[in-house]
Chain A
């Protein structure tokens, strides 16, 4: 299957700083990328959907000014957690999909963010 990578795999930062997480589709072009958040022992919660070259669509309750998403190319999407606070500590997972709503979604390995 297709491969999606995330970088970094884990990051620890101080409260108030910003953290950027990259998501790349390594062997295919992803017209749509998704960002999920997973709390310990809980399910994945969709944060936002982004299509290459357009603004991301955020789920209700997700602050778009706090979680900045840039889908600059067909193989790269970034999530920037701005002014991070301890409650932003979580596991962030991206997913990428080929064109077409019935295409399979491929998931990245996730990024563990810890805000001190």
Chain B
């Protein structure tokens, strides 16, 4: 069964450093997302991306965050200058046009900022 894959599975970074989280969405999907879950909290929407542009973003997704689809397969989340409170599990997700709003998630990238 096709799946969303994410790398790295775990990254430790120093505060202030830039981090890039990578995702390969399901191949025929057109809509891409990043969500995150801080330990002990619920899963939160960050951003949605369609047709090479951001279609919606949350208040969390400030100027420190950016997304990119540099080629036909990868979808990346960049955090320019990480803060301690960015420590979370980051989930990439995707969906196709036909499946309604059923979104399929990757395994997650656990980011620890120290």
Q: Say whether A and B bind each other.
A: no
Please report B residues at the A interface, Cβ cutoff 8 Å: none
